[in-house]
Structure 1
Amino acid sequence: MTKKDLGNNTLSVVDEVFLRIYCFPGFLDKHPALPIFIGGKRPDAMRYKVFSMNNLHSTSATWRQVTTEEGTRTVAISLESRAGLCAAMTVTWIKKSIASQGVGVLSDIEMGSHHWMAIVQAAYEKGSMPNTQGLSRVDKIFPLLVSQNLKPCECSRGTGFFPPEQVVNWAISKSGHSLYAFEKSGPGGHMSHMIGMRCEGRILQMFNPSEGLYQYSDVSSFKQHMRSYLVRDGSKFCGEWGLISVSSYL
């Protein structure tokens, strides 16, 4: 079978057709040398990871200069290991994805500075944005979006468990970008998290700040992965959840 040279990796003609048809148009044209499938192999369940992310920084952090062999840089030293930047990361991904005019965010580098996202997350967590005092975690998402020139459109909310398949159905029904905020409790304690989704024609994506950006070839694979992620650790959903569709003010 004919292979396309990708440096140390290869991409078969079948895989290239799969990527061009079922994923986002223009991806290979813009990034012809990007290794997509290691060894020319597609992942199971018809999904693949576009890029990885590390949600390690915290709003409760000190920023220090460290010197390495590569030079001096500023890093966040987390004081609360479980306090990440999921809200700021998700909103940033949505903002940049919309601004890409259909191309999408193709690498973690395009997400920008974690330092900036920590500032945005702190404003959200500490309620320092205007008119956010006393609001619930879901209610504070609306001013967070507006602060980034994003327009909250439709919203669905509730408490406790919401079936992962219904999360996907809701996102698909809105066509475009949306986010899902939820709370869980388990052996590791209580956690709040936020993920983003993009459903535009054949483009089906989920952005998880703790893992990265995933893309799916079909709705079934999207739902399967959503369920495996949301219910995999045995923890229970608690508190408030919210689904919000998002567009740009610009």
Structure 2
Amino acid sequence: MTPSLETRDLTVRFGGHIAVNAVSCAFHPGQLTAIVGPNGAGKTTWFNLISGQIRATSGQVRLEGRDISSLSPSARAHAGLGRAFQLTNLFPALSVFENIRLTVQSRRKAGLSLFRMADSRKDLIRETEEILTRTRLTAQARAEVRTLPHGDQRKVEVALLLALRPKIFMFDEPTAGMSMDEAPVILSLIADIRKDPAATVLLVEHKMDVIRALADRIVVLHNGTLVADGPPGPVMASDVVREAYMGREIEDV
């Protein structure tokens, strides 16, 4: 079975430093993979290579068997690779509704005008409203994104991913900076996405309780190298992971 997403010997060097070292890993639909490791392990850099923010020194990124290594980030997004960032990446002066609608329009190649709201665009409005409902943002639809608390801005990011209808969902520490009250909403949204058998979900996360609740599989990076890959139980119980890479965090949880 062809993986929905695959990296083959993916490598990037910054001067003499190898930040990601020949990482080969395949992902399949219906699976949520947590990517873990200590600070500086190369997790976010690997994500940046996959989504195109950084160009690889060598190796490939393949989407459904197609080599997309030469594509720009926007071209990869249109091909089905969707990513939410640690820092929100939104149109802050526009409303939540407008952010989502513009994303729907972009995916449908219907232009990006804020004023194309005629009857012919009722389909865009309808899809936007459905996404607002799914992400629990209906009450905030007319609010400017810059006025929202951090947790609601992260919800808007998830809404934009849904509007793109990607094949691959990539989340980089989605609950970073969120309060204990805000985080469960984001995790619930990710859990809903995970239920879709056609969706492939990648999650960079350091909170072990989140990983235990969501992950079907764990990939561990250390010094840019893949050192463990498998079901959560065996990976978290591995001596090499517990002692060398995760410290006492797993025991504490």
TM-score normalized by the length of structure 1: 0.25
Structure with the bigger percentage of strand: 1
Query: Which of 1 and 2 has higher RCO (CA within 8 Å, sep 6+)?
Result: 2
TM-score normalized by the length of structure 2: 0.25
